[in-house]
Amino acid sequence: MKSIWMEDGHMPNFPPLRGDHQTDVLVIGGGMAGLLCAYQLRLAGVNCVVAEAKTLAGGITKDTTAKLTVQHGLIYRQLIDRFGGETARMYLEANLRALEEFKWLCQGIDCDFTPQDSYIYTTARREKLEKELSALEDLGYPAQLAEGLPLPFPTLGAVKVPNQAQFHPLKFMSAIAEELLVYESTPVRRLEKGMAITDRGQIRAKAIIVATHFPFLNTHGSYFLKLYQQRSYVLSLKGVTVPQGMYLDEAENGLSFRGWGDHLLLGGGGHRTGKPGGGWQELETVSRIHYPQAVITHRWATQDCMSLDGIPYIGRYSARTPELYVATGFNKWGMTSAMAAAQILRELITTGDSPYARVFSPSRHMLHPQLMTNALEAVGNLLSFSTKRCPHMGCALKWNAQEHSWDCPCHGSRFDQDGRLIDNPATSDRKK
């Protein structure tokens, strides 16, 4: 169950921390967000070190579909209706800036960077496309209604955003990692004021960034209430006609399509972690119906942190932790959001402010229907009978028959059959 990126994406190896270390900024987590944070800080002349619990890109990043786009579903009409045009404009600007930074960096990196148009299509709600087009027009961003899509079933059209891109995430990360100071196999066990405690030493830093996908500190920020995790699945198909462009259904659990060479990456089957869902079986059914001649070459799954309002949490970990920062809640758009996070956090650390800090602030208003859903899910789970419990906050684990793992429906931690940790926020294996 390895992603297609792992076939030829070879990451450099780094030693673990042995002894104590002092730096300006410590970044905890060696995924795309963590490396980009360190890289942006390095470009700004800041001494920085990355501490990764296992290996670089060994978590969620290796399982991305690697789209670089400002088109995050039909989000701009939602943002305007909920927060107003200024917030929507700032969200768009932050992601445009991130996309342009990727384009600039990839000029000097052999990472199969390929310009592509992006499409959000619908099979049922054309009026939603029209509203999104109106929103983008209000924001002054070029988009158009596209019809006659090269998909294997009829649609009612799509919102087309031109000049987006796709790339090979591990090739990109391998290149930027070579320029960074990294400690692998160095899990941070706890944080104290200005200091991270690891198994083999301490790292002192003036500022610390938590880029561990799901934040692992429960004492600040209430991320266990503000986030939940969702799984989604990908099949790589060969022997089919590969369409130009990147396509995603506007429906919550719809299908996505994008090419990679002569492979078609078919995504979907999503569900909340720890809950039942379509998974690979759903995608296999789609493949049999629409691509009966296809050969499945790869299959993998990924996991996304979902915020309350569709906007990531980027900034100070909480109002009471001025030198502790976080980047999380990327809502299935981890590549562009990771760069936006790196740029915002660079500005906050080097100048004390960012023009986009207010929009992405982790301390922004929390009242949202999803907050109650998250809380009820946790309470109900804690009260259910089960001998297998998550060490993160004690929730009952559920068996995932498709992936042969024990998954937590509260916060998304996952464990293999023997109890070994797969995905956080848990930081230790499950007790048998």
Amino acid at 89: R
* pLDDT at position 374: 64
Average pLDDT over residues 203-219: 94
Domain assignment present for 160: no
* pLDDT at position 379: 62
Total domain count, the chain: 3
At residue 378 the predicted structure's pLDDT band, cuts being 50, 70 and 90, is low
Confirm if 159 and 131 have CB atoms less than 8 A apart.
no
* pLDDT more than 90, % of the chain: 76
* pLDDT at position 402: 81
Examine the domain organization and report whether 211 and 264 are in the same domain: no
DSSP conformation letters of 62-129? GG---EE-S--SSHHHHHHHHH-HHHHHHHHHHHHHHHHHHHHHHTTS-S--EEEEEEEE-SS-HHHH
Which of 260, 285, 306 is a domain's end point?
A: 306
Q: Domain with 387 in it: what CATH number?
A: 2.102.10.10
Does pLDDT of 387 surpass 70? no
Whole-number Å distance between alpha carbons of 371 and 387: 27
Domain with 411 in it = 369-421
Examine the domain organization and report whether 254 and 380 are in the same domain: no
SS3 204: strand
Residue with structure tokens 């699945």? 233
Whole-number Å distance between alpha carbons of 227 and 230: 10
Whole-number Å distance between alpha carbons of 201 and 226: 32
Q: Domain with 233 in it: what CATH number?
A: 3.30.70
Q: What is the mean pLDDT of the chain?
A: 92
Query: Rg of the Cα trace of the chain?
Result: 21
Examine the domain organization and report whether 271 and 380 are in the same domain: no
Does pLDDT of 383 surpass 60? no
Instruction: For the beta carbon of residue 100, count every other beta carbon within 10 angstroms.
Output: 11
* pLDDT at position 371: 66
Average pLDDT over residues 233-260: 95
Which of 11, 96, 3, 44 has the alpha carbon at shortest distance from 349? 44
Examine the domain organization and report whether 221 and 340 are in the same domain: yes
* pLDDT more than 70, % of the chain: 95
Which of 238, 212, 230, 213 has the alpha carbon at shortest distance from 299? 238
Which of 75, 25, 404, 181 has the alpha carbon at shortest distance from 420? 404
Q: Which tokens sit at 319?
A: 């109002």
Examine the domain organization and report whether 263 and 395 are in the same domain: no
The full length of the chain comes to: 432
| pLDDT 10s digits, 400-427 | 888 888 888 877 788 878 778 888 787 7
Q: Domain with 21 in it: what CATH number?
A: 3.50.50.60
Report which of residues 322 and 387 the model is more confident about. 322
Instruction: Report how far apart, in Å, the C-alpha atoms of 310 and of each of 2, 129, 207, 333, 403 are.
Output: 29, 18, 27, 10, 27
Does pLDDT of 176 surpass 80? yes
Does pLDDT of 120 surpass 60? yes
Among 39-48, 156-165, 180-189, 389-398, the minimum mean pLDDT is found in 389-398
* pLDDT at position 432: 61
Domain assignment present for 187: yes
